[in-house]
Amino acid sequence: MNRHLSQRIGFGFTALVTLVVVAPILLVVGIIVVRGIGTVNWEFLTAMPRDGMKAGGIFPAIVGTLILTVGTALVAIPIGIGGAIYLSEYARDNWLTRAIRLAIVNLAGIPSVVYGLFGVALFVIFLQFGTSIVAGSLTLALMTLPIVISTAEEALRVVPVEFRTVSASLGGTTWQGVRRVVLPQALPGIITGVILGLLRAAGETAPILFTVAAFYLPRLPSSPLDQTMALPYHLYVISTQVPGMPIGVQYGTALVLLALVLSMNIVATIIRSYFRRRRQW
């Protein structure tokens, strides 16, 4: 009898701990939604900021984040998918491949602020891009790369080996097999990975602090060498650097950023589960 009581206590304890883990997550999202929703309206989303960002909207920050995300995608997607194809379809199990895997683990572990430092040293100063969208996108792309490579490789690897053998037995070369058979099968998984990587880039602040972000720039950027405002940096600025900022604007900005990132997250999850249910193998 005693043992069963202790089992009940043990199970109850793990349930309690899980509640302690999960409840604050819902609390964070809940508080930001409740306190921010009153500020978010059409004007807030589409107007330029006014009165030292205390009034008006956050349009340039939203557009800036979208531009940076596209810039990141342009660089990270081709390099990332190429690297993943190499690792899953071409690489042999030797020291060179192990070195590549080590490099990916390392890239994934480098703190985001160190990416920012590197971006300053290489893109802003050495290559003379200045504080610009190009410099910021390249920095973010580098940071996103390990996520894209590892998720894309995983997606390629779950395609059964028979697909490749059949392609080869029909006379296809390795590349033909990859291009026409394996890649289409793995595409949903790859897209999911790319979105997950990009949403991290969209929410990051530290790498763009000194490579692209503008404190206050109430217009849209006109060239890739322009600075731009960005949502995460804007939230940081208005919550720490500007005294007397209305709390509603802060929560509204936090809500827009959160909604953007979480909706991308949900899209990725839906793509993954939709295609997982549909696939035949």
Partner 1 sequence: MNVRVAGVERIVKRLSGLRRVRRAGGSEFAIETLIRVLGFSTIGFVLLIFLFLLREGIPVFFETTLDNLFGQQWYPTFDLLGTLPILLGSMLVTVTAIAIALPLGVLTAVFIREVAPEWTRDVLKPIIEVLAGIPSVVLGFFGMTVLAPFLRESLGIPTGLTAFTGALLLAYMALPTIISVAEDALDAVPKGYRDAALAMGATEWQTIWRVVLPAARSGVVTAVMLGMGRAIGETMAVMMVTGNAARMPLSLDSLFRPIRTMTATIAAEMGEVAQGSVHYHALFGVGIILFVLTFGINLMAASAILKKRRRGGLR
With CB under 8 A as the contact rule, which of the stretches 50-58, 69-77, 170-178, 185-193 interacts with partner 1? Answer: 170-178
What minimum distance in Å lies between the beta carbon of 148 and partner 1?
11
Binds partner 1 by CB under 8 A, chosen from 73, 87, 155, 212: 87
Restricting to residues 207-226, name those near partner 1 by CB under 8 A.
Answer: 209-210
Binds partner 1 by CB under 8 A, chosen from 52, 55, 70, 90: 90
Rounded distance between C-alpha atoms, residue 238 and residue 9, angstroms: 47
Restricting to residues 237-266, name those near partner 1 by CB under 8 A.
Answer: 239-240, 247, 250, 254, 257-258, 261-262, 265
107 touches partner 1 by CB under 8 A: yes
Q: Which is nearer to partner 1, 5 or 222 (CB)?
A: 5
With CB under 8 A as the contact rule, which of the stretches 38-46, 81-89, 185-193, 216-224 interacts with partner 1? Answer: 81-89
Binds partner 1 by CB under 8 A, chosen from 77, 120, 140, 155: 120
Q: Which is nearer to partner 1, 70 or 96 (CB)?
A: 96
Chain-centre distance for alpha carbon 37: 24
116 touches partner 1 by CB under 8 A: yes
- Which of 68, 76, 74 is CA-nearest to residue 137? 68
Structure-token pair, residue 86 = 């190499």
Chain-centre distance for alpha carbon 213: 17
With CB under 8 A as the contact rule, which of the stretches 39-47, 68-76, 204-212, 221-229 interacts with partner 1? Answer: 204-212
Q: Pairing mode, if any, of strands 49-50 and 55-56?
A: antiparallel
DSSP secondary structure, 121-182, as one string = IIIIIIS---SSHHHHHHHHHHHHHHHHHHHHHHHHHTS-HHHHHHHHHTT--HHHHIIIII
41 touches partner 1 by CB under 8 A: no
Q: Which is nearer to partner 1, 32 or 133 (CB)?
A: 32
**How many residues interact with partner 1 (rule CB under 8 A)?**
96
How many degrees, rounded to 5, is the angle at CA 28 between CA 197 and CA 18?
Answer: 85
Q: What are phi and psi of 150, to 5 degrees?
A: -70, -35
Q: What are phi and psi of 213, to 5 degrees?
A: -70, 135
